[in-house]
């Protein structure tokens, strides 16, 4: 079969690198179709039975997911099993369940129809969110909804648990349940037509340590079960019918990569110090409480960004002050004595709470809409609950508080006034907190960047959110496929803005970190450090490559690189120089 495949023409398809590694083998095409839902009127005399049928399906689904979770914990570990906590939460979502019952009581249509209608509305709401991580949470609801519908209709669940032989799984997409059921001993790799770096299929693939490439459009229509495929999980390439020359070349690449990855992990245990003796602070971004273990595993020097909105978005209701306090305390104690930067809610606009639609309205331009600090300053009771919880957690370790989406000094002053009220309220109750709690602001709006000197008067630190800052500076919707290529981190306007922020902040003796995607890109790290950035915060698995580069370069060279880049007018030319700088210091051999 292998010989026959290589008589066909080689086809190279570009996708998105999702889980690193190289795999070669035959394809198993997995096609999952949506459940077909019948619609009919339920006799009034049988409506109590219909609701009972719904309750039974929810219970059965809960038992199925709990079983999958147990298997994942046994096979992949506790961290990976936590994926299914979100699924169990969907089944306990009283808003989703309540709306389904109300729809049934109003229309009298069968419960499958009502549940499908309501769950589809929730899926649509999450699918339209700009944040990539949250968009993927629509998959949680879709996966659970499909299971509930299958149980209501008495259909067998789909499974990838019994692959006949070692195969590369090619699918349009994989639900979390699909991903978790894949036979670890038989799956060589995973390729999906859709998906992103934050999809559950990717999370499971990384846990299984199998190569994965996502976003390979229509591959399921271009290959069939039994075809030969090579996955390049490093560069996001999928090669159909690879030639003998290609296989030989990738054999060498695989050997080199494995050796290099081991060197990365070895370097990651060492201090982040440049060749000329300059220490660099490398921290981690987290969304969930349970990610503390991952932060420690990768030797991060603290948490540079704790995105607290995920506590709210994974719940059908707004978490109480006490619930938030417990979450923040757990992270802070887990990281002590290292610092934890807790960002207040970046909620609203493109990240609404599905369970609280009354707090939000549909917006034509959510990027520049009612979100983050704007939402908090209008809903002060929600804001104050969070601020008090953060303040109370500050007695359990090193906490820094940070506001998102600050547009200017007036907005910062209003936020600080609410914080002062919270401090006074806690003092009146005799509740202790860190009186010297450091307060900072995200620099992600051009107006904030332009007035850094004014913000520095009342800020202890800054953190630059490059994702939004670049988007706003260049007027580029990074989620728009037609113009995504114009999203250029090395655009001269971006570099000059970063330089201005760092210089003004340092003039006021205020440290600056970067927590956007640029911070975890080894090609751009020397440029950021050369511009004077004091700390970088990134997704934990990106730390080894960044630390390796830091330890392989001189800070004086990085400053020269930044000075040269500031003189150039082409984003492409600047990136090329950064790439050359990186390549000259990271050797595979």
Domain match, 213 and 348 both: no
Please report whether residue 478 resides in a domain: no
Query: Which residue reads 């109480």 in tokens?
Result: 320
Phi, psi of 285 (to 5 degrees): -95, 135
The domain boundary residue, chosen from 153, 185, 220: 153
Please report whether residue 468 resides in a domain: no
Q: Would the pLDDT of 358 be above 90?
A: no
Residue 203: the pLDDT is 64
Q: Would the pLDDT of 513 be above 90?
A: yes
Cα–Cα distances in angstroms (integers) from residue 200 to residues 176, 234, 581, 589, in the given order: 5, 19, 34, 33
Strand 237-240 to 281-286 pairing:
unpaired
> Is 515 marked active-site?
yes
> Is 485 marked active-site?
no
Q: Would the pLDDT of 351 be above 80?
A: no
CATH of the domain at 202: 3.50.30.10
Q: Would the pLDDT of 2 be above 50?
A: no
Q: How confident is the model at residue 41 (pLDDT cuts 50, 70, 90)?
A: very high
Mean pLDDT, all residues of the chain: 86
**Which among 386, 383, 382, 393 is positioned nearest to 433, based on CA atoms?**
393
The answer to whether residues 230 and 242 touch, using CB atoms and an 8 Å cutoff, is yes
Q: How confident is the model at residue 42 (pLDDT cuts 50, 70, 90)?
A: very high
Please report whether residue 469 resides in a domain: no
Domain match, 543 and 574 both: yes
Residue 142: the pLDDT is 83
- Burial (0-12, 13-18, 19+ Cβ within 10 Å), 469: buried
Please report whether residue 206 resides in a domain: yes
* Distance in angstroms (rounded) separating the CA atoms of residues 344 and 456: 19
User: Which tokens in the block code for residue 331?
Assistant: 């992270």
**Which of the two residues, 175 and 333, has the higher pLDDT score?**
333
Three-state secondary structure call for residue 25: strand
How much is the average pLDDT of 186-192?
88
Which of 328-332, 363-367, 391-395 has the weakest average pLDDT?
363-367
Query: Of the residues 376, 422, 459, 515, which is catalytic?
Result: 515
Please report whether residue 482 resides in a domain: no
- pLDDT tens digits, one per residue of 75-114: 656 666 777 787 888 888 888 899 999 999 999 999 999 9
Please report whether residue 376 resides in a domain: yes
The answer to whether residues 336 and 298 touch, using CB atoms and an 8 Å cutoff, is no
Residue-range definition of the domain harbouring residue 220: 2-32+159-240
**Which of the two residues, 520 and 480, has the higher pLDDT score?**
520
Residues in a beta bridge with 187: 167
- pLDDT tens digits, one per residue of 223-278: 988 899 999 988 899 999 999 899 989 888 887 777 777 888 888 889 999 999 99
Domain match, 139 and 57 both: yes
Domain match, 425 and 569 both: yes
- pLDDT tens digits, one per residue of 578-587: 999 998 987 6
Domain match, 163 and 301 both: no
Please report whether residue 463 resides in a domain: no
Tally of domains within the chain: 3
CATH of the domain at 398: 3.20.20.60
Q: How confident is the model at residue 365 (pLDDT cuts 50, 70, 90)?
A: low
The domain boundary residue, chosen from 240, 260, 293: 240
Domain match, 137 and 202 both: no
Domain match, 367 and 404 both: yes
Residue 483: the pLDDT is 57
Please report whether residue 305 resides in a domain: yes
Domain match, 110 and 78 both: yes
Residue 315: the pLDDT is 64
Which of 85-94, 317-326, 329-338, 448-457 has the weakest average pLDDT?
85-94
Half-sphere exposure of residue 389: CA atoms within 13 angstroms, side-chain side: 25
pTM given for the model: 0.67
* Distance in angstroms (rounded) separating the CA atoms of residues 229 and 170: 10
Domain match, 25 and 77 both: no
Domain match, 195 and 49 both: no
Q: How confident is the model at residue 322 (pLDDT cuts 50, 70, 90)?
A: very high
Residue 1: the pLDDT is 36
Domain match, 28 and 67 both: no
Tell me what percent of the residues of the chain surpass a pLDDT of 70.
84
The domain boundary residue, chosen from 112, 137, 153: 153
Residue 364: the pLDDT is 58
Domain match, 197 and 121 both: no
- pLDDT tens digits, one per residue of 58-67: 999 998 888 8
Q: Would the pLDDT of 285 be above 60?
A: yes
Q: Would the pLDDT of 5 be above 50?
A: no
CATH of the domain at 94: 1.10.274.10
Query: Of the residues 200, 376, 578, 582, which is catalytic?
Result: 200
The Cβ of residue 140 has, within 10 Å, a number of other Cβ atoms equal to 23
The Cβ of residue 69 has, within 10 Å, a number of other Cβ atoms equal to 20
- pLDDT tens digits, one per residue of 531-570: 999 999 998 888 998 999 999 999 999 999 999 999 999 9
Residue 454: the pLDDT is 97
């Amino acid at each position: 079969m292998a010989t026959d495949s290589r008589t066909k023409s080689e086809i190279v398809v570009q996708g998105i690198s999702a889980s690193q590694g190289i795999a070669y083998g035959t394809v198993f095409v997995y096609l999952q179709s949506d459940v077909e839902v019948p619609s009919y009127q339920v006799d009034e005399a049988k409506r109590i039975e219909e609701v009972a049928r719904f309750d039974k399906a929810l219970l059965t689904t809960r038992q199925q997911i709990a079983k999958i979770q147990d298997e994942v914990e046994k096979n992949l570990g506790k961290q990976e099993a936590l994926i299914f906590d979100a699924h169990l939460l969907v089944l306990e979502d009283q808003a989703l369940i309540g709306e389904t019952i109300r729809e049934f009581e109003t229309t009298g249509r069968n419960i499958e129809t009502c549940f499908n209608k309501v769950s589809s509305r929730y899926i649509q709401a999450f699918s339209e969110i700009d944040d990539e991580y949250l968009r993927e949470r629509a998959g949680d609801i879709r996966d659970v909804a499909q299971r509930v519908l299958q149980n209501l209709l008495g259909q067998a669940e789909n499974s990838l648990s019994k692959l006949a032989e070692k195969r590369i799984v090619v699918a349009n997409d994989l639900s979390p349940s699909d991903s978790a059921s894949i036979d670890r001993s038989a799956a060589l790799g995973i390729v999906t037509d859709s998906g992103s770096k934050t999809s559950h299929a990717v999370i499971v693939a990384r846990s299984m340590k199998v190569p994965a490439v996502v976003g390979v459009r229509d591959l399921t229509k271009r290959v069939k079960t039994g075809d030969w495929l090579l996955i390049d999980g490093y560069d996001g390439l999928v090669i159909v019918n690879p030639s003998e020359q290609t296989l030989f070349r990738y054999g060498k690449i695989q050997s080199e990569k494995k050796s290099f990855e081991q060197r990365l992990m070895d370097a990651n245990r060492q201090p982040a110090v440049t060749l000329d003796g300059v220490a660099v602070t490398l921290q981690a971004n987290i969304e969930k409480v349970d990610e503390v273990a991952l932060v420690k595993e990768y030797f991060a020097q603290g948490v540079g960004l704790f995105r607290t909105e995920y506590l709210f978005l994974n719940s059908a209701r707004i978490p109480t002050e006490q619930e938030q306090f417990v979450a923040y305390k757990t992270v802070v104690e887990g990281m002590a004595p290292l610092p934890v930067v807790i960002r207040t809610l970046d909620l609203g606009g493109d990240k609404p709470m599905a369970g609280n639609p009354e707090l939000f309205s549909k917006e034509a331009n959510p990027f520049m809409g009612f979100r983050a600090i704007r939402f908090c300053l209008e809903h002060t009771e929600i804001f104050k609950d969070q601020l008090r919880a953060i303040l109370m957690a500050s007695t359990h370790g090193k906490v820094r508080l940070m506001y998102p989406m600050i547009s200017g000094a007036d907005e910062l002053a209003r936020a600080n006034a609410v914080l002062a009220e919270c401090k006074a309220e806690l003092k009146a109750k005799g509740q202790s907190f860190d009186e010297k709690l450091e307060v900072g602001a995200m620099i992600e709006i051009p107006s904030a960047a332009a007035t850094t000197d004014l913000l520095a008067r009342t800020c202890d630190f800054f953190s630059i959110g490059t994702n939004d800052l670049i988007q706003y500076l260049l007027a580029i919707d990074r989620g728009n496929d037609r113009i995504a290529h114009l999203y250029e981190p090395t655009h001269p306007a971006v570099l000059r803005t970063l330089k201005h922020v760092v210089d003004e902040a340092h003039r006021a003796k205020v440290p600056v970190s970067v927590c956007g995607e640029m911070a975890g890109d080894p090609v751009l790290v020397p440029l950021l450090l050369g511009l004077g950035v004091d700390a970088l915060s990134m997704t934990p698995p990106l730390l080894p490559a960044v630390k390796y580069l830091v330890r392989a370069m001189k800070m004086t060279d990085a400053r020269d690189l930044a000075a040269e880049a500031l003189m150039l007018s082409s984003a492409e030319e600047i990136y090329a120089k950064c790439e050359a700088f990186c390549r000259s210091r990271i050797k595979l051999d």
